[in-house]
Amino acid sequence: MGRFFLGILGIICLLVAGPIYPPAVQAADLSKAAIPIEFSADRLSYDRELGVITASGNVEAIREDRILRADTITYNQKTDLLTTTGNITFLEPSGDVMFAEYMELSGNMKDGIIEDLRLVFSDSSRLAAAGARRSGGVKLDLRKAVYSPCNLCPDNPDRPPLWQVKAVKVVHDKGRKVVEYSDAWLEIAGFPVAYTPYFAHPDPTVKRQSGFLIPDIGNSSDLGFVVKAPYFFNLADNQDLTFTPISTSKEGPVLAIEYRHFLFNGKFEAAGSLTHDSEDDLRGHIFSKGRFDIDETWRWGFDANRVKDDTYLRRYNFGADKDDTLTSRIFAEGFRKRNYFSADSYAYQGLQKSDDSGTSPYVIPMLDYNHVGEAGRFGGRTNLDVSLLALTRTDAPDTRRLSAKGGWQLPFLGPLGDTYTLSASLQGDIYHVDDLIGDGSENRFNGVSGRLRPEVALDWRFPIIKEEDPIYHIIEPIAGIIVSPYGGNSANIPNEDSRDFEFDDTNLFSHNRFTGFDRVESGPRANYGLKWGVFGSKGGSTTVLVGQSLRLKDDSTFTKDSGLSDHFSDIVGKVHIGPGSLFDLLYRTRINKDDLNFRRNELQINAGVPALSFSSKYVFFDQLEKSEFLGREEIFMQINSSFNRFWRGHIGGVRDLTGDGGMRSLALNLTYENECLVLSGTATRKFFADRDLEPTDAVIFRVSFKTLGDVNTGF
C-alpha cells in the first residue's frame, strides 16, 4: 500500500514539476511528445532547481512497453537522462531481458550505455559483455562479449558452459534481426577450437532468413569426397528456394534445387537435381507436388516424380526412401454431402531391374463417382459406384472400362440382440481391349467384352458381453452368406486393378476380396469366424480373431497358393495383446487347411520403457499369385535406450531368412542432446547390391550447435 501512495506522490510531483520531456518542446508539439515515465519506488525525491528526480528502493520505471527495475534511478529533466544503478533489470517489448549494474539511458530508453551487461534472449540463450552502447532501441554494440545458449552448471556456475562464442565485438541489430561477431572464437568446455574474423546468425525473432546453411561434408565409395554447400533464399513469407551445389571427387559436380510456395488456397513444392557423371552421362531427377482448393467442394492437385535412371536416387541419396515405382498424377476431386467424384490421370516409372517401361500403363483418364443414399424408413440405404478407366501402353494391351455397381443395405436387430445386415447389389462392366493375351494362351483378343453380376448377402453378428470388474469380455461369433452366379471372370476381361490381393483377417468377411473391379468372387459361399476380446477399465486389451471361408464349388479364379480356390479356405487369424504402454504384440497368420503349415506369419512386438525398449518384426509370406510375388521371410530387430536425460541410442538390423539370404542391413546410433548441443554418431552397413550399386558402409557424425546450425559429416 505504501508503494502505491509513493507512486501517486511521484505522479503528482511530475505534474507539478512539468512533463518529462525537454523544455525546448513547444506547446504545439505536446501531442507528439513522448509518453511520460511512470515511477514506482519505496522512496521518491525531486530537486526542482536541478530538475532531478531520484527514486530508490525497488524502483520500477515504465515507458511505453519498456520496463526498467533497479535499486536507484535518477532522471534529469534538463538532460533527458536516466541514470540507473544496482540490480538492474530491463525488459524489452520483444521479450529480451537485460541485467546490469550500471546504465545511462535517454528518457525514451532507446539510447545509452551499459556496463557489465547480461542479456537473455526470448529463446533463453544469453549474451554477456563488459560494456555496451544502445542506439535507437534497435542496435546494441557490445565489447568483449560472449554468447551461449547452454545452461551453467548449478554446482559450479564459474565453470565455462559446454560451448560458447567469444568475440572482441558483437552487434545485435534488431532492425536487421541479426547478431554479428568480429574476431570470434568458438570454445568447447572452455577450450578454443575455431576462430573466424567474422560470424553472424539470426537473432531469436527470426524464423526464416536468406543465407548459407551449414554445409555437409562426407565421403562415399561411389562418389568420393562430397561437399554440399546449400544457400537458402527467403523469397517471401510464403515461399523460399534452397540452392545446393554438390561437389564430388569421383563423379563431378551436382546441382540440387528445392522450391516451396504456400498460397492462399494451397501449396506447391518442387525439388530436382542435375549432373554430368564421370562417363559424361546426363543424370537427374525431379519431384514436385501441388495441392489447391478450388472452393468448399472441389480441389485439384498433381504429383510429378521422374528420374533419369533407376539407381540415381539411391546413389546420390535423393529420396532414397521412395518406393520402387515413381508415380506421377494429376487429379481433381469433389466432396458434397454423401457424394464423391474424382478425375485422375497416372503415369508410372518402375525402378526395379525387371521393370519394362513398355508395359507400364498411362492411365488417362480414371473417373470415379461414389454415392451413399439417405437412410430409408426402415434404415435401408442405397449406394452407387461408377468407374471409367482408360489404360494405354506402348508395348502391351490397352484397356478401356466402364463399370457401375448399385447396391442396397438394410441393417436390423434380431430378437436375441444379434445384428443382421441384408444387402443386394448389381454390378455391370463393359471392356474394350487391344492385344489382350489370355491366361495360358498365346491368342490375342481385340474387341468388346463384359458381364452383369447380381449378388445377395446376409451378414450376422452376435456380440455377447460378460463383465468381471475391472475387466469385461466380449465374444462375438460372425458369419455371412453370399450368393452370386458362377463365372464372370472371362479370359477376355483383363485384370488391371485386382492383382494386389492376399487373403487375411482384414478381408475375411468381405463379399468380394479382390481390390478392384476387374475380378469378382462368384458362386454361393459363406464366411465364418469367432472374435474374442478382454478389455480393462484402464485401457488395456487383448483380442483374438480366427475364421475361414467356405464355397460350394472350387473357384479357379484363385490360385492354389491364395488359400481360397478350394471348398474350404485356409484359416486366417489375428492376435493383439496390448495390456498397456509398456508392451504391445500383434500377430497375423494364414494356415494351410490341409496340412496346417503356415503360409503367412507376421509378428510385431514393441516392449520396454524409455530406459530400455525392444522392437521386432518378423514377416513370412509363402509364394503368392502365380509367382508375381516370390515370397519373403525376414526379421527386423532394434534395441533402443535412453540412458539418462542426455544420452540415447539404438542398434538394429534386418536379416533375410530365406535359403540364399543373409543380413540386409545393420545400424548403430549414439546421441547426446542437451539444451544447446546435439552430438550424434551413426554407423550403417547395407549388404545388398543392385546393378551399379555395391554394398556400402557409412559412418555419419552430426554436430548441432542449437541456435547456430548443424554440421554433418559422413565417411
pLDDT tens column, 508-522: 999 999 988 999 999
pLDDT bucket at 212, cuts 50 / 70 / 90? confident
pLDDT bucket at 484, cuts 50 / 70 / 90? very high
Instruction: Tell me the average pLDDT across 304-332.
Output: 86
Residue 68 CB neighbour total at 10 angstroms: 22
| Higher per-residue confidence, 341 vs 394 | 341
Q: Of 2.60.450.10, 1.10.260.40, 3.40.50.2300, 3.30.1360.120, which CATH number belongs to 2-110?
A: 2.60.450.10
Instruction: Tell me the average pLDDT across 131-157.
Output: 91
pLDDT bucket at 157, cuts 50 / 70 / 90? confident
- What's the grid cell of residue 671? 546421441
**CA angle, 582 as apex, 575 and 679 as ends, to 5°?**
125
Tell me how far CA of residue 199 lies from CA of 150, 171, 182, 217, 657, in angstroms. Answer: 19, 11, 7, 20, 53
Q: What is the pLDDT of residue 11?
A: 39
- On whether the CB atoms of residues 510 and 457 are closer than 8 A, the answer is no
Q: Return the top range by mean pLDDT from 169-178, 271-280, 380-389.
A: 380-389
Alpha carbon distance 378, 161 (integer Å): 74
Beta-strand runs (E) in 414-564: 419-437, 444-461, 464-468, 471-483, 525-536, 541-551
Residue 326 CB neighbour total at 10 angstroms: 20
Give residue-wise pLDDT tens across range 335-392.
999 999 999 999 999 888 888 888 889 999 999 999 999 998 889 999 999 999 999 9
pTM of the model: 0.79
Q: Which amino acid is at 156?
A: N
Asked if pLDDT for residue 468 goes beyond 90, the answer is: no
Instruction: Tell me the average pLDDT across 311-339.
Output: 87
Asked if pLDDT for residue 329 goes beyond 70, the answer is: yes
Q: Which amino acid is at 350?
A: G
Tell me which residue has cell 557489465.
116
Alpha carbon distance 208, 235 (integer Å): 10
Mean pLDDT (the chain) is 87
Q: Write down the number of H helices and E strands in the chain.
A: 2, 42
β-sheet bridge partners, residue 709: 705
- The DSSP output letter for 631 is -
Least reliable range by pLDDT among 197-201, 363-367, 636-640: 197-201
Give residue-wise pLDDT tens across range 231-258.
999 999 899 999 999 998 888 899 999 9
- What's the grid cell of residue 81? 537522462
User: Which backbone phi and psi does 165 adopt, to 5 degrees?
Assistant: -115, 120
Provide the terminal-to-terminal Cα distance of the chain, rounded to the nearest Å: 69
Asked if pLDDT for residue 314 goes beyond 90, the answer is: no
Instruction: Tell me the average pLDDT across 497-509.
Output: 89
- What's the grid cell of residue 282? 546426363
Written in H, E and C, the secondary structure of 143-176 is EEEEEECCCCCCCCCCCCCCEEEEEEEEEEECCC
Alpha carbon distance 240, 338 (integer Å): 39
Q: Where are the domains of the chain?
A: 2-110, 624-715
- The DSSP output letter for 629 is B
Q: Are strands 66-76 and 81-91 parallel, antiparallel or unpaired?
A: antiparallel
Alpha carbon distance 715, 712 (integer Å): 10
- The DSSP output letter for 587 is E
Alpha carbon distance 311, 693 (integer Å): 7
Q: What is the pLDDT of residue 632?
A: 81
Q: What is the pLDDT of residue 320?
A: 56
Q: What is the pLDDT of residue 219?
A: 73
Percent of the chain with pLDDT strictly greater than 90: 55
Alpha carbon distance 409, 698 (integer Å): 57
- On whether the CB atoms of residues 111 and 125 are closer than 8 A, the answer is no
Q: Which of 98, 46, 56 is nearest to 77 (CA)?
A: 46
Q: What is the pLDDT of residue 238?
A: 93
Residue 475's Cβ-count burial label (10 Å; 0-12, 13-18, 19+) is: middle
Asked if pLDDT for residue 125 goes beyond 70, the answer is: yes
Give residue-wise pLDDT tens across range 661-705.
788 889 999 999 998 988 888 888 888 777 877 787 777 777 888
Q: What is the pLDDT of residue 621?
A: 85
- Residue 28's contacts (CB-CB under 8 Å, 6 or more residues apart) are none
- What's the grid cell of residue 445? 483378343
Q: What is the pLDDT of residue 631?
A: 73
Instruction: Say how many CA atoms lie within 13 Å of 694 toward its Cβ.
Output: 5
- On whether the CB atoms of residues 246 and 255 are closer than 8 A, the answer is yes
Least reliable range by pLDDT among 108-112, 279-283, 626-630, 669-673: 626-630
**CA angle, 82 as apex, 81 and 86 as ends, to 5°?**
150
Asked if pLDDT for residue 215 goes beyond 80, the answer is: no
Least reliable range by pLDDT among 38-47, 161-170, 240-249, 395-404: 38-47
Exposure letters 94-128 (e unless 16+ CB within 10 A, then b): eebbbbbbbbbbbbbbbbbebeebebebeeebbbb
Beta-strand runs (E) in 280-324: 282-293, 298-307
pLDDT bucket at 578, cuts 50 / 70 / 90? very high
Give residue-wise pLDDT tens across range 43-99.
988 888 888 989 899 999 888 888 999 999 998 988 889 899 999 999 988 889 999
Alpha carbon distance 7, 541 (integer Å): 64
Alpha carbon distance 95, 52 (integer Å): 30
Asked if pLDDT for residue 228 goes beyond 50, the answer is: yes
Asked if pLDDT for residue 10 goes beyond 50, the answer is: no
User: Which backbone phi and psi does 622 adopt, to 5 degrees?
Assistant: -75, 170
Alpha carbon distance 276, 316 (integer Å): 13
pLDDT bucket at 438, cuts 50 / 70 / 90? low
Alpha carbon distance 108, 34 (integer Å): 7
Instruction: Tell me the average pLDDT across 116-131.
Output: 91
Residue 576's Cβ-count burial label (10 Å; 0-12, 13-18, 19+) is: middle
Q: What is the pLDDT of residue 5?
A: 36
Residue 286 CB neighbour total at 10 angstroms: 16
- On whether the CB atoms of residues 68 and 90 are closer than 8 A, the answer is yes
